[in-house]
Structure 1
């Protein structure tokens, strides 16, 4: 019996400095499983990648796929890895940018819904995005990813 390969995702945590303090760009996960949830349903825009794809390239590709926006240029500051509850390893980089979200056009995925109905439906990867202050972001982000917020705050002084 062979062990299943650990899934890996890579993403960009875009941030900006405002009069109200540091803000981060997070996305609310799309689809029926997350529709009525807020706390623990927000994420760094990210996605899975193959072992032969460089993680930072994957993070930039996934940003474009998930938001329909060009990934920001600028220095990508490594925020390291976290392991989510299901075992997936997520790697993230912080990039400073003040993006206009009016062009948000998320990618989509399909799944059988309702379960065991035989009906396959399409849902957005992220159903909304928002700039959030660090305190609010900590309340909403997937618990394992909160470490990225702490590392960003440390880096930003």
Structure 2
């Protein structure tokens, strides 16, 4: 394709490149840039272009690829940005854990002393009902009843949203 032939079809090539770029979401801000870049690349290839149809096909493909490249770059999160996001999430998780820990401490302090002791021996120290019964001085069956009551009270506090 000669320079004059290329100059003659530039408006048509530009319109096609612009149309291809605008066919993608959020490309309206830089669609003109994509069209311009497509025409620059076409100018460099003009000698190897055999016909008007060939030029139209090439510019459409170039515009599509350039648009996709831009969209990918927009959605790529940089390494530093990813580190900041991860650090923020870890800090947020630590704050939540501390908040839950404080809530649990408050909720446990509200339990009657025997229920608290039985719950602590079972959940923290992992003792059996018989071992707890021997320590507290109650029957193993009472241990189960006290555990059930303590857990039920905690569940009620969770449902009511108390101590949060």
Q: TM class, shorter-chain normalised?
A: under 0.3
TM (normalized to structure 2)? Answer: 0.19
Give the TM-score normalised by structure 1: 0.20
Higher helix proportion: 2
